[in-house]
Amino acid sequence: MNRSLLWTSIALCVVVVGCDEAGLMKKAELLKDEPAGRKYLELLIQGKVDEIKGDLDATIADADTGEKLVQLADWLPAETPKSIKVVDSRTTEREGFHQTDLGYECEFENTWYLVTMSLKRKQHGAWAMLGLHVNRLPDSLENMHKFTLVGKGLNQYFTLLLALGSLALSFYAFWECVRTRVGPSRWLWAPFILTGVGGLVVNWTTGQMGFQIWLIHIPTAIAEAQPLGPWMIGVSFPLGAMIFLNERWRERVLGEPLSESDRKVRAAMDELRGK
């Protein structure tokens, strides 16, 4: 095996392992407060709203709180859920307390519910509830957010085609650079060719779109999703590839001279060939 290839492979392995470890540590940190949320969820399913009411934060407790909690408990089926999945976990350090936002997908017999809550942990460690919501889902989040080409709107299809086109163009320009360029100029061009500017992103589930001007992406298209979350398809303008291909066109079609660095490199290569 080529020595440079060997060291590159080792470096990639180190990066991947390091990213996996960092991801696991981050996940463990986010889920450290989950047992507190699971306790309140089980109390709600069992209809023990009085125990939840006793831990409500003073900012949301009022005369109607007990009745509202009973309504939330009544919305859930009177049965043990088949499964409970943590679908959201976020923490925020606020002045004087620690806030945790949790989301649970509860699967019952042929029905799914999303239960979200905000918890507040004070300095002495006691928990208080800042908010509690229950929503019925038409299907599991996994099925709702799975990637499919069926039944999507113009926003989704348009962004996907742009992403595929941008990616194909940047890879083509990259291949042209590696195939035709010699010397150090090739490696100066390569990362720039794969760089895109700006960003158009679409939520593949809802079709909602967002756009950012001051954004740099490598590569020029993305497709990513959080566990049990929607796919996000994004595309950026392949500026580096466009500039490189424009230069290649000027060299081939218009016959314009190469840059100073390329002329020196090619002259050196021609001299070596002559010897």
- Tens of pLDDT, residue by residue over 78-114, are 889 999 999 888 888 877 788 999 999 999 988 999 9
Between CA 274 and CA 262 the distance in angstroms is 18
Tell me, what's the pLDDT at 255? 60
- Residue 95 and residue 126 in contact, taking contact as beta carbons nearer than 8 Å: no
Name 93's bridge partners: 98
Q: Which two tokens stand for residue 32?
A: 């450290």
Query: Among 186, 196, 189, which residue's Cα sits nearest to residue 166?
Result: 196
Name 105's bridge partners: 85, 114
- Tens of pLDDT, residue by residue over 110-138, are 899 999 999 998 767 788 899 999 999 99
**Which residues contact residue 205 at a Cβ distance below 8 angstroms, ignoring those fewer than 6 apart?**
144, 145, 230, 231
Between CA 266 and CA 275 the distance in angstroms is 14
Between CA 84 and CA 262 the distance in angstroms is 62
Q: How far is CA 275 from CA 266, 268, 269, 272, in A?
A: 14, 11, 10, 5
Burial class (CB in 10 A: 0-12, 13-18, 19+), 248: middle
Q: Which domains does the chain have, with CATH numbers?
A: 32-144 (3.10.450.50), 154-274 (no CATH)
Tell me, what's the pLDDT at 194? 87
Tell me, what's the pLDDT at 23? 42
- Residue 106 and residue 45 in contact, taking contact as beta carbons nearer than 8 Å: yes
- Residue 215 and residue 245 in contact, taking contact as beta carbons nearer than 8 Å: no
Residue with tokens 């109607």: 64
- The stretches in the chain having pLDDT less than 50 are 1-26, 265, 269, 275
Tell me, what's the pLDDT at 92? 86
pTM: 0.63
Query: Among 28, 39, 111, 117, which residue's Cα sits nearest to residue 76?
Result: 111
Tell me, what's the pLDDT at 84? 92
| Helices and strands counted in the chain (H then E) | 9, 8
